[in-house]
Amino acid sequence: MRDRLRGGRVVTLTGPGGCGKTRLALRVAALAEAGFGDGARLVELAPLTDPALVPASVAQALGVSERDVPTPAAGLVTSRERLDVPGELVFPVPPLGLPADGSAAGSSAAAAADDLTGKTPPAVAPPHTAG
């Protein structure tokens, strides 16, 4: 998945609400951040009601003007549905079940993230959040 992001791809994690898409995306971003000179940024799009505001939100998160947003920009997206944008790579995220040993469901999400990325993440600061 990190290679796809480096190639300027939009990678969309799809699945029902509450299945762990955002947690998985944050885990992947933490692992991939070192491979990007400017790091990784979190852009919250859920509050937007007008799709025309997406470029401005991305630019704000990157700290650049709209005209300076790279095209194509690599992106790791979580959504209940695919975006249907050119070059999009979709990874379905199934609902997480409870671990057989009865431990917290969050550890299942972490294990799924490790399985998907192939390694346990290093201790790093969380991605920057647009303010």
Distance of CA 103 to the CA centre of its chain: 25
Number of domains into which the chain is organized: 1
Backbone angles phi and psi of 129, in degrees to 5? -110, 135
Tell me the average pLDDT across 69-83. Answer: 78
Query: Domain for residue 94, yes or no?
Result: yes
Q: How far apart are the first and last CA of the chain?
A: 27
Query: Domain for residue 72, yes or no?
Result: yes
- Please report which residue ranges of the chain form alpha helices under DSSP H: 2-6, 21-32, 54-62, 105-117
Query: Domain for residue 131, yes or no?
Result: no
State the pLDDT confidence band at 48, using cuts at 50, 70 and 90: confident
Distance of CA 115 to the CA centre of its chain: 16
Query: Domain for residue 115, yes or no?
Result: yes
Mean pLDDT of the chain: 74
In three-state secondary structure terms, 123 is coil
Tens-digit pLDDT profile for residues 112-122: 555 555 554 44
Task: Give kind and range of the element (H or E) at residue 75.
Answer: strand 75-79
Tens-digit pLDDT profile for residues 95-108: 866 666 666 545 55
Give CA–CA dist 99/63, Å, rounded: 41
Domain assignment of residue 15, given as a range: 2-122
pTM of the model: 0.63
Q: State the pLDDT at residue 112.
A: 56
